[in-house]
Amino acid sequence: MAEIVILEDNALMRRYLADLLGQVGGHAVRAYAEPTEMAHELESAPADLIVLDIGLGATARLHGQRIDGIGVCQHLKAQATAPAVILLTAHAFDGDEARFLEQSGADAYEPKPIRDEDGFLGRVAGLLAS
């Protein structure tokens, strides 16, 4: 069973992702609304995969600085033992995927809402297997 962490500021989406990855996907899931809390927990309880919202709320902070999901991903990927990261965004336009992946260093990208749950779970499984 893989350890998956979700960072999503929207409570309904956070619950949906936790149910999809936990109950349907069979993974152990921890979900957070704030980057600081997530980063603190990852220090003592690493994850195999992070599902990360790009558009975190205006109050999102990491090390006292305002941050979005791109910045959180850059921070995670700078770690010696960086987990795989899937970016999520509700603001998906042509060209966004390539730009967001390049800027962040993330491993995958998924627009919200997730329309193909089986496909999403397949991408999760593929990242966990690599």
pLDDT one-digit tens code per residue, 23-44 = 999 999 999 999 999 999 999 9
Domain that holds residue 102: 3-129
123 and 88 Cβ atoms separated by less than 8 Å: no
72 and 35 Cβ atoms separated by less than 8 Å: yes
Query: Does 83 score more than 80 pLDDT?
Result: yes
Query: Does 92 score more than 80 pLDDT?
Result: no
pLDDT band at 88 (very low <50, low <70, confident <90, very high): very high
Strand-pairing partners, residue 61, are: 66
Beta-sheet pairing, 61-62 with 65-66: antiparallel
Which residue from 13, 120, 116, 104 is spatially nearest to 54, judged by alpha carbons? 104
Query: Does 90 score more than 90 pLDDT?
Result: no
pLDDT band at 84 (very low <50, low <70, confident <90, very high): very high
Mean pLDDT of the chain: 95
50 and 3 Cβ atoms separated by less than 8 Å: no
pLDDT band at 74 (very low <50, low <70, confident <90, very high): very high
Which CATH number covers residue 24? Answer: 3.40.50.2300
54's tokens: 């790009």
Query: Does 106 score more than 80 pLDDT?
Result: yes
Distance from C-alpha of 130 to C-alpha of 49, rounded to nearest angstrom: 11
Number of structural domains the chain divides into: 1
End-to-end alpha-carbon separation of the chain, Å?
A: 15
Query: Does 80 score more than 90 pLDDT?
Result: no
